[in-house]
Structures are given as C-alpha cells and as structure tokens.
Amino acid sequence: MSGELNLDSRYELTKLTSENFKPSQFLRRMCAVELHKTKTLILQQNKKTHLIASYVADDDENGKALARDGFERLVVTAPTVHPWRDLSKRDVETAAKADGIVTYGGQESSEKIKFQSLMNDALELRQSIERREEQQIVEAITTGKVDVKVDDNLMRTINLNIPSANLSPAASGDKFDANGSNPILYLLNQKRLVSKNGGGNVGLTIMGNDAFDAFIQNDAVKEYMDKRNMMFGEIEPKDTDPEGITRSAHILGMDIITYDEFFYDGKQKKDLDLIPKDSIIMIGNGAGFKMHYGAIADGTDGTLNVCQSYVYTWIKNGKSKILEEESSPLFVPMNGAAIISRKVV
C-alpha cells in the first residue's frame, strides 16, 4: 500500500494521520468530536430545567402549556495551533541518535521506510496537539474560559458556558484542611447541586494532589471510612485508564481519582501539573464533553478542510523539508452546569 502513496499529498497525509491516531489523554478520550465547516463556531448549548406537568381542573379541555428547556447560543472562533518538525538532514541525524538507525536488509522498500518515518513524526505532532487539547479541557472546566496566548501574550479570552457559581472557591470553613470541616458532607452537597442544576449524577471527582492529601488526612473523612471498613487505594483501575490515573476510593457513588499528568512550560523550562493541586473537579454525566474542530483553510489550493488536524509538507528556504500539522480545537461542554471546580485547600 505504501508504494502507492504520494507522501507529498496533503489529502493523503491528513487522512492517514487521522486513521492512525488514537487519543490517549484521559479527559480528551471522554470527548465526542464535532467537525465544522468554518472556524467560527455557532453552538447551541443545552439549558436544563426540571419541568413538571401541572394539574388542571377536571373539566379543563385545554390543558397547560409546557415550556421548553431551551438552549443558550455560543458563538466563538476556535484557536489555532500548528506545530512543525524539520525533516532536514541535520534534524534526521539528530533524531536517529535517539530513536535508532534504519538498517536496509532487503525486507522493506525505501518508500515504506520513508513513509513510516514520516508517519511517526506526524503522529508525534498530533500527540502534541492532543496534549494542548487536554490542557485546554482542564483550563476550561476549572476557570470557565480559555486564554489564547501567543508567546505569553494574551491575544483573546474565550468565555464558555460554565456558571461562575460552579467555579468559586470553597468557603474557608469548608476547606478540606480547615479545623472541623467535613469534606464528605461537602462533596455530597456539591453533588446534589449538580443534579439540581440539570447536570445529572456525578460519578467522577478528580482531586489535585494537595486536595487529596488534605482529604485523606481530614478527621471526618477518616471517621467515615473507618465506620464503613473502607480504605483508600483499593479501587481496581479500569482497563482504559491511561498512566497517571489513580482510582483511590468509591464514595457517595463517585470514583475519587487523582490525575498525575504534566505539560512542559518552555518559559519556565520545567514540567507543570496539569490538574491544579489545590482543587477538585466534579463531573456530572450530563456534561456532554465535546471537542470541536474549526475548518482549516489551505491557501495553496483554495480548499477548506474539515478535519481534526491538517497535515502537509513544504520546503523552507529551498532546502529544508518541513512537516507541519494545523488544527483548530476548542473544548465546549454541552451542559456547563454539570461541572463543578473548587479550590478546597
């Protein structure tokens, strides 16, 4: 098959990358995908209420009209990322020292070797985009917005549909490390709030490391666990859980997990925690996680490409071959009321 491929074809590179890429990040894998024909997205967001039919008089033949839940409209322009990789001789030689050297033993054609090398680079670029998507999800569900920054300069802020009341810090007396606080009761009340607001049942709570440490050291939590002969760390991981996920307990119908994932900050030159250490994130089953992708315009042939990421090669300064991948991802939950994030330490 590889012998029939045109590795310089943008269509074929995009199609093959899409076929071979499988999401691996925990939150990104919870997302449905929607592709758009424009970069400006017009989204209809669910507005859930608890409508109930009214009684009427026995002789009333007209009945009572029932309102609709309705929708909230969100119009946003998806941000753009397009990482690239130099395929020049110097770059390939550097990569070979770390990744291994190809030996020609007559078993594989040079075309196939070339194809495999190109696909490896394309998939690594796609994985870097997925890591940005994962960071974007966490930023959205903990702040209610996405800040689009270029070289640390804020270009614009995309405000999403998560109520600000769902993102405020816990009261000082409710903090997990406060004297006399009861995190179990606090979680129960927050779970009820999500249900009341039409967000469904909360089955997952993610705790930052400091929040989790304060949680398991809290006297009220220890008493709750002791009375039920429960221990932390006895929940079997799910087969689909990626590295970094630790399921520590099942309390109040919720899996309590920690998520040790990081992203590299080029300015600080170090790995930063993806999940805020001092916070909890509660997700109702009505949240409807969705990753939207705006269309990618190609000025070379006048096409508008509806895809998750658009892959192409080009020649730089007449000598270096560049592999580039462009994407316009934006995470938006269908129902922001199904998400609660609070600082609890």
Q: At what angle do helices 183-196 and 219-227 cross, to 10 degrees?
A: 80
Q: What is the pLDDT of residues 167-177, one digit of tens each?
A: 999 999 999 99
* pLDDT mean across residues, the chain: 88
Percent of the chain with pLDDT strictly greater than 90: 63
pLDDT of residue 256: 96
Q: What is the pLDDT of residues 113-143, one digit of tens each?
A: 778 888 999 999 999 999 999 999 999 999 9
pLDDT, mean of residues 170-198: 97
pLDDT of residue 109: 64
Cβ–Cβ < 8 Å for 345, 147: no
Residue whose token pair is 């030689």: 93
Q: Are strands 32-35 and 290-293 parallel, antiparallel or unpaired?
A: parallel
**pLDDT greater than 60 at residue 203:** yes
Nearest alpha carbon to residue 67 among 83, 82, 50: 50
Instruction: Specify the pTM.
Output: 0.87
Point out the least confidently predicted range of 65-79, 102-116, 141-155. 102-116
Round to whole Å and give the CA distance between 20 and 116.
12
pLDDT, mean of residues 258-269: 87
pLDDT of residue 60: 81
Point out the least confidently predicted range of 21-25, 26-30, 59-63. 59-63
**pLDDT greater than 50 at residue 150:** yes
State in words which class domain 7-52+68-100+107-345 has: alpha beta
Q: How confident is the model at residue 315 (pLDDT cuts 50, 70, 90)?
A: confident
Q: How confident is the model at residue 330 (pLDDT cuts 50, 70, 90)?
A: very high
**pLDDT greater than 50 at residue 319:** yes
Structure tokens at 345: 């330490």
Phi-psi region of 15 (alpha: psi -120 to 50; beta: other; left: phi over 0): alpha
Q: What does the domain layout of the chain look like in residue ranges?
A: 7-52+68-100+107-345
Task: Determine the 3-state secondary structure of 134 from DSSP.
Answer: helix
Exposure string over 306-331, b if 16+ CB within 10 A, otherwise e? ebbbbbbbeeeeeeebbbbbbbbbbb
Q: How confident is the model at residue 1 (pLDDT cuts 50, 70, 90)?
A: very low
Point out the least confidently predicted range of 107-111, 205-209, 256-260. 107-111
pLDDT of residue 2: 44
